[in-house]
Each structure stands twice: as C-alpha cells, then as structure tokens.
Amino acid sequence: MKAYVFPGQGAQFSGMGADLYEKYPIARELFDKADEILGFSISKIMFTGSDEELKQTKVTQPAVFLHSVILAKVLGDSFRPDMVAGHSLGEFSALVAAGAMSFEDGLKLVSARAMAMQKACEAVPSTMAAVLNLTDEAVEKICEETEGVVVAANYNCPGQLVISGEIPAVDAACEAAKAAGARRALRLPVGGAFHSPLMEPAREELAAAIANTPFSTPVCPVYQNVSTHGETDPEVIKNNLIAQLTAPVKWTQSVRNMVADGASEFVEVGPGKVLQGLVKKIASDVTAASAVVE
C-alpha cells in the first residue's frame, strides 16, 4: 500500500515551486489564486525571495503548504493514496490533497494558523530544541522535572525528540539532557514554542476559523499527529487539527501505525527530503522517496 506524506515548517527553500509554475498550467492557476487570496505575492517570495523572507511564519507555512498541494495536483491521476499523513503544518496539505477540504479553504486556514502562531510566539519569549540519542521516556522525564513550561513537542523518530517551551526552561532541559547522555541538545532557529501550552491563544483562534470551514470525508484515511490513527470522520479530523497546536506531533507513532496498517511505500510530497529520512529510521524495511512529476 502507498502512503503519501507531507512536510511541515522548515522544509522551505528559495526557488521552491518555480519549476512547477513554469511547466504546468494548473500550478500557474493555483499560485496566482494563492497570491489573490493572501493579498501579497507569495509566489514571488517563494521563487526569488531570500531565506530570511521565507523564514517568516506568515510566509513559511503557506509556502510549504502551496508547494505540497500544487505538487499533488500536478501528479494528477498518478496521485492515488491508500493513506496520507502530514508533519504538523503538513497535515493541512495532506487533508487538501485527500479531498477533505478545498484548496482555497486550506490556504485560508493555514494563513490564519500562521498569523495566530506568530502572535502567540510574540507574547512569551519561547523556543524549541532538538534532543538526540536519548529515549523518548528519558526526555519526557527531564521535561517533567524542569521548572517552567517545557514539553515534548515532536516525536520525529527514535532518538530524535524536539522539546518546546519557555526559553529558560528549554535551556535548562537541554543541559539536563546533555548530562543524561544526549549526543546533542540544541536550540532550533524557530520563532516560538510550537506544539506546547504556550500556543493556547493560537489554538482558540484556529478553532474559530475551523468551525467556519466546510470539511468533507477524505478519499483515504488521514493519520493525524494527535491521534496517530487513520481518520476519515470530518468532525474527528477538525477536533484533532485544533488540538494539534498545543499537543505533540507523534510522527514516530503515526508512521508505525501506517506500516502496521499495510503501508510499504512512502512518497514525500513537497519541498525537501526530511520525512523520507525519518520514515526510514522508524521503519527500515519500507521504501521512501520524493514524488516525481513527468
């Protein structure tokens, strides 16, 4: 069975999507529509902007979403998923690609989510850090024992867990992780504490936007970050999307469940190759590759 996976924030690069725009009429149409919906030329920033411009959350999230969704559209009839999943922001790309919501509604939600997250980031000095070579349980324990807000945020693959929270708490947890034998524990270049309780104001804003967005039953199960299981019920999908902002991304668990449910071939749809690497570390006997267009 074939699983399509969609990357999240961090996969962006300058020039992304320019080849699709030049070659495919459907890509041109959707990029032009995106510029109109967002009220600024995101296509121009994606094609020719600097890394700094692309790093702004209000740009990054719609940009990664656009690249992924437009690539899925360009794949056309060859895009036949048995299941899909997305890492954090990528969950929105996965849902649009699987027909759970329209391109326009998905883009509006992603933009609203990015703006709300940006505001929440500015409210409290916060950050995220990657901890390598400790068990999930060891990192969870360190977070629990550290003063202040710091939680496990991204279960990326065995031995790679991202923590999130207030800057002093994250720094203290990193020191404790190193003392416990972590190979590395270092802050990531992000604007705030995604997937932590500090995103609560953003969660409330996103909940209001999602409540006003029509959702349909997807063409295949969507393995969501919060539940880690294949979901098809629109109401369950909506609730999980809202919960995702303050809950951890359980990528390791989601991929394991996809494999247990029959996935043997993973295709990454979007910029970069991060998810292929994670999938191979989680399940070494499956194949994982980038989506290829004709």
Catalytic residue ranges: 88, 195
Least Cα distance to 218 among 112, 117, 72 occurs for 72
How are beta strands 265-268 and 2-6 bridged, if at all?
parallel
Least Cα distance to 44 among 259, 271, 230, 53 occurs for 53
Strand order through the sheet with 222-223 = 230-231, 222-223, 83-86, 2-6, 265-268, 287-290
Q: 């349909």: which residue's tokens?
A: 216
Burial class (CB in 10 A: 0-12, 13-18, 19+), 80: exposed
